[in-house]
Amino acid sequence: MADPILEVISLTKCFGAIAASDGLTFSVKRGTIHGLIGPNGAGKSTAIAQLSGELQSDTGRVRFDGQDVTRWPVDKRARSGLQRSYQITSLLPEFTAEDNVAMAIQSQQGHSFRFWDNARKDHSLRIPARKILERVGLSDFADSPVMDLAHGQQRQLELAMVLATAPSMLLLDEPMAGMGQSESLRMMELLRPLKGDVTMLLVEHDMDVVFALADMITVLVKGQVLITGAPDEIKNHPEVRRAYLGDY
């Protein structure tokens, strides 16, 4: 349990003169939920994009599962088990819910240079896809086009896709964004049992959620790590309070 699955070492990304990430250093222990919080513009989404590989970092290193992945493209990191979800829902809108999950499963079954057999009739994709939809409570909508789903359902589907890839680590960028109270609760119930199997880096605005779920929390302010510590420590830290109250 003690070894870190993800190590971030002085990671930096500048947009022009502005350093969106300024020498980020922290590590995430295997099997834990690690919260990443900070006021607006602290660089949380930039950090996630750098970790997932969508943004190339200017300097610094990222080590994942014992390998240096700093120069790996997105798809290679994803195949190695580092998956992300998006703050703004990102799905395959013309496919059905089941198609979406099946695509996630397909990506884990080696290459897709299979040109002949109908993928929609492939039981090795469809049966597990149904199971995962059931797990997130979307069984009734398996055949609905994604466009017809409500926002909360789309968020659940997104989580289903990420789970379908059987990741070893999840980068969750505000998974509860735009959700109602009951949907948020449901999402929390979905995430909690994963703890131990799947390591999670959780970016979330809702402090209650973060403090309820996270084992460790890193606070970002203006692209820098202010502090990393246990929830209680963070809650009572004077500088964190000041950062959130704005007189920083």
Partner 1 sequence: MFLNKIIGAEASLRTKIVSLVGLLILFTVPLLANLFDEPFLVDIASRILIYALVAVSLDLILGYGGMVSFGHGAFLGLGAYVVGILTHHSYEGTAVAFLPGEWQGTTQAFIQWPLAMIFSGLLALIIGALSLRTTGVYFIMITLAFAQMLYFFMISIPTYGGEDGLNIWERSEIPLLDLYDAKSFYFTCLILLLLCLWCCSRIVKSRFGMVLRGCRQNEVRMKALGYPVYRYKLIAFVLSGMIAGLAGALLANHTEFVGPGLMHWTGSGEIMIMVILGGMGSLIGPVLGSAALLMMEEVLAGWTEHWMIFLGPMLVLIVLFARKGLYGLLIGKGADNG
> What is the contact surface with partner 1 in residues (CB under 8 A)?
52, 54, 73-76, 78-79, 83-84, 86, 90-95, 99, 102-104, 106-108, 112-120, 122, 161, 165
**How many other C-beta atoms lie within 10 A of the C-beta of residue 176?**
22
Report in angstroms how near the CB of residue 200 gets to partner 1 at its nearest: 16
Instruction: Quote the CA–CA distance of 6 and 62 in Å, as a whole number.
Output: 7
Report in angstroms how near the CB of residue 128 gets to partner 1 at its nearest: 15
Report in angstroms how near the CB of residue 92 gets to partner 1 at its nearest: 5
Which is closer to partner 1, CB of 203 or CB of 216? 203
- The DSSP line for 43-84 is SHHHHHHHHHTSS--SEEEEEETTEE-TT--HHHHHHTTEEE
Which is closer to partner 1, CB of 29 or CB of 79? 79
- Cα–Cα nearest to 90, from 35, 157, 140: 157
The SS3 assignment for 11 reads: strand
**How many other C-beta atoms lie within 10 A of the C-beta of residue 217?**
25
Which is closer to partner 1, CB of 59 or CB of 67? 67
Which is closer to partner 1, CB of 36 or CB of 161? 161
Residue 31 CA neighbour count, 13 Å, CB half? 5
Which is closer to partner 1, CB of 40 or CB of 113? 113
Which is closer to partner 1, CB of 93 or CB of 180? 93
Report in angstroms how near the CB of residue 22 gets to partner 1 at its nearest: 25
- One-letter amino acid of 49: A
Which is closer to partner 1, CB of 161 or CB of 202? 161
Report in angstroms how near the CB of residue 67 gets to partner 1 at its nearest: 16
Report in angstroms how near the CB of residue 29 gets to partner 1 at its nearest: 24
Report in angstroms how near the CB of residue 90 gets to partner 1 at its nearest: 5
- Cα–Cα nearest to 225, from 243, 238, 206: 243
- One-letter amino acid of 203: V
- The DSSP line for 133-196 is HHHTT-GGGTTSBGGGS-HHHHHHHHHHHHHHT--SEEEEE-TTTT--HHHHHHHHHHHGGGTT
